[in-house]
Amino acid sequence: MTYSNLSKIRPKLRTSGNITGNFGRSKSKAGSSLNDLGVTNVKVVKCVTQTEYLNRLYHAFDHTTEPKLRSFLYTEIRKILIQQGKW
């Protein structure tokens, strides 16, 4: 009679990406966490207008000293002004 280990093989669930173990997180099945992106249970969703967004960008640009954030805000403001034909 032949003894085999094939009956002992179990499918594994994916861990949190930690090679050494799964510390503090439960095991999860494979799949993207981006599947639920944009899904909400809220009944009313208010979208910000482009002019209100532009005002928020100006306010953030005036009140920050972070170089990377200022660079991002400048490029976003520039994109909107180019779209509006004001640049």
Give pLDDT, residue 37.
Answer: 73
Give pLDDT, residue 59.
Answer: 97
Confidence band, pLDDT 50/70/90 cuts, at residue 77: very high
Give pLDDT, residue 30.
Answer: 61
pLDDT in tens, 21-70: 556 666 666 666 777 777 788 888 888 999 999 999 999 999 999 999 99
Binning the chain into helix, strand and coil, the percentages to the nearest 5 are 45, 0, 55
For residue 80, give the amino acid letter.
Answer: I
Question: Taking the model in full, what pTM does it have?
Answer: 0.53
Residues 33 and 16 sit within 8 Å (Cβ to Cβ): no
Burial label, 22 (beta-carbon count in 10 A; 0-12, 13-18, 19+): middle
DSSP state of 49: P
